[in-house]
A and B are shown apart, each in its own frame.
Chain A
């Protein structure tokens, strides 16, 4: 029973024992192509979509919403085509979630118009009286902070130049503040008057939700 009277030998042995499964199921797969497939159809998030994604993380949306549709009959029927590995190539971190208090969001992009999301995020109970989702009306009252947007896309390796990021932000701003924006009325209703000409946190959140699953849908459309 030598090992039980030699603490360091014991500790090293225990470490080796726990590392076997770790190496086999985590470290080795890390370098296998099957865990990191890439597809030309799956594009990185724009700076605004990434800001929305960061807000999704800040608010802990992943505690109630999953982002992975399983290959099950009723799941595909409810949410759309099941999720594929390559869709998440740019996701750092992954946001698959573990509990569906609310519905899965992996295919929510393009399912509803922006106005639907503005209204729903503002007060979910206005649309579904029985919903238990917290209201996020205050996100429309927060101006979007884009001061580190470029730095974020750089760390994430999206390959945008600083000018491209500025352009993305300016483009999205002119899109949602334009007189002809199809969701203008709803956006104006939920956004305080002094922020209607600016980008708000809610704008970024809507941009992110609309991106989810869009690339895969466009791939399917081409086939």
Chain B
């Protein structure tokens, strides 16, 4: 059943393979800095020193991989869910080029030390303007296609995409207001505690509206597509959506617990963080109940397990997050590797698994080819699952150990351990973490290889009809 509604799939393919490219680049840098953590010998040049590379890793994966995965699936979902071809395909094409150029320029500028230091907003002001332009290019197609749509009702996934489109714009612009000194140097408009408050409002929500909201859009679209099962409860998804986007914005200050930020802002953030468990688990349970009576798909359908294990990590993530935001637990865990483990469960588990499965569903479909190898997809699944679990659990244990060593006192009240004692006790964990990262990386290479081979196969017009 070869369909042709005039949908533009070249843009989907362009962003999907950009995502794979930046994923491999970002993970390579991740392995590099993971090695530097236990052996500083890899700080070969200033460009490769940990302080500069860490931001290339976070931007490369968060924006390079995450965002292009989101754009790829968004351009696909937007056309399918509105039953309308892309209104401005040339604009989308330009968006693809601007995006990749911006990421490349971002990586080079960060390695050169042009770093505003505000987490996940490290780019200097000319690149910030580039990012805003790129976002507007995307938003024009989003709203134009919604205006022209042939499907009256907007499906859940479209709500999430619209919410992302407006919220990321607000976050990015407000947080990046800076006064330029030269082309490559600027200072934040805000100072001290205010700057911290704005930055973590941004930092927390940019993660929410890039690593949660659009990934939920994928989940709500591709899970029913891949399983053939409708979403369990439309009402639950409505409640989850509005409460999620309402509560998210209050919680940034849980990143600033016990800092000089006014205490009431911290306390409000704790309260809303706990509240956020409800909408997060609304989506998790909606996913689980969708499979009701069809749990055998976890075995028989290779895509189902990516989605269900992915949303499970989202569920764990959204329990762990509010808990470590509590003042007492935060006093223990903050600034340790526990938090690093927490972030990576979300990114390596939830985000990467859902994007992987969405690509496995989408790429064969838009290429009129079958997936090159389901067997390889299964190997990919197990490698990234094991790699991620080993990675995050190692960091949690390391974090507990470091937190305990920082806190330990002798009977006479003096500190039991020097700072260096705490650090060096982590090196075995850092080695294990590196090994786990290698396992994960191999899984991702198999993923990329599988998709490249899929599109390189000769086109089979009958592919879809002969599929079991």
Contact = CB atoms under 8 A, between A and B. Distances in A.
Interface of A: 1, 4-5, 7-8, 10-11, 14-15, 17-22, 24-26, 29-30, 32, 34-36, 54, 57-64, 66, 68, 70-75, 77-78, 83-85, 87-103, 124-125, 128, 130-135, 138, 148, 151-152, 155-156
A22 B201 contact: yes
B154 A11 contact: no
Contact of A138 (B46, B182, B195, B409): B46
B376 interface: no
Contact of A25 (B191, B192, B249, B409): B249
Contact of A77 (B117, B191, B415): B415
B40 A134 contact: yes
B106 to A, nearest CB: 14
Interface in B178-216: 179, 181-182, 185, 187-199, 201
B97 interface: no
A150 to B, nearest CB: 10
A25 to B, nearest CB: 5
Contact of B51 (A64, A98, A148): A64
A83 B258 CA distance: 10
Given A34-B262, A94-B192, 17 more contacts: A21-B247, A25-B201, A30-B197, A32-B262, A36-B191, A59-B46, A59-B52, A62-B51, A62-B117, A63-B55, A72-B258, A74-B406, A77-B409, A85-B260, A95-B117, A132-B37, A152-B187
A1 B260 contact: no
A65 B158 CA distance: 41
B154 A92 contact: no
25 contacts: A4-B154, A7-B146, A14-B245, A21-B248, A25-B249, A25-B250, A29-B194, A57-B116, A58-B114, A59-B113, A60-B54, A63-B50, A68-B260, A75-B406, A78-B415, A91-B192, A92-B187, A95-B117, A97-B335, A98-B335, A103-B419, A124-B40, A130-B423, A131-B420, A152-B187
Interface of B: 36-40, 43, 46, 49-52, 54-55, 113-119, 143, 146-147, 149, 152-154, 159, 162-163, 165-167, 170, 174, 179, 181-182, 185, 187-199, 201, 242, 245-253, 255-256, 258-262, 265, 268-269, 272, 331, 334-337, 339-340, 406-409, 414-415, 419-420, 423-424, 427
Contacts of A62: 51, 117
Contact of A70 (B46, B259, B409): B259
Contact of B409 (A74, A95, A96, A125): A74
Given A17-B242, A92-B187, A29 B197 contact: yes
Contacts of A87: 192, 260
A149 to B, nearest CB: 10
B54 A7 contact: no
Contact of A18 (B197, B249, B427): B249
Most chain A beta-carbon contacts within 10 A, residue among B143, B201, B255, B409? B201
A58 B146 CA distance: 43
Contacts of A78: 406, 415, 419
A35 B248 contact: no
**B contacts with A: majority SS:** helix
A26 B51 contact: no
A90 B269 CA distance: 26
B259 A96 contact: yes
Contacts of A15: 166-167, 170
A55 to B, nearest CB: 9
B147 A7 contact: yes
Given A63-B54, A64-B51, A93 B331 contact: no
A20 B260 contact: no
A45 to B, nearest CB: 12
Nearest to A50: B187
A7 B252 CA distance: 28
A52 to B, nearest CB: 14
Contact of B265 (A10, A29, A89, A99): A29
A10 B159 contact: yes
Given A68-B259, A132-B423, A88 B193 contact: yes
Nearest to A30: B194
Contacts of B159: 4, 10, 14
A93 B197 contact: no
Contacts of B420: 128, 130-131
A94 B181 contact: no
A115 B331 CA distance: 34
B170 A25 contact: no
Nearest to B430: A132
Contact of B36 (A90, A94, A132): A132
Contact of B249 (A4, A20, A133, A138): A20
Contacts of B199: 93-94
Contacts of A135: 40, 43
Contacts of B248: 18, 21
Nearest to A85: B260
Contacts of B54: 60, 63
Contacts of B201: 22, 25-26
A100 B117 contact: no
Contacts of A88: 191-193, 196, 260
Given A71-B258, A93-B199, A96-B256, A19 B170 contact: yes
Contact of A17 (B188, B246, B251, B423): B246
A71 to B, nearest CB: 6
Nearest to B169: A15
B194 A99 contact: no
Nearest to B160: A14
B246 A18 contact: yes
A74 B415 contact: yes
B118 A26 contact: no
Contacts of B119: 98
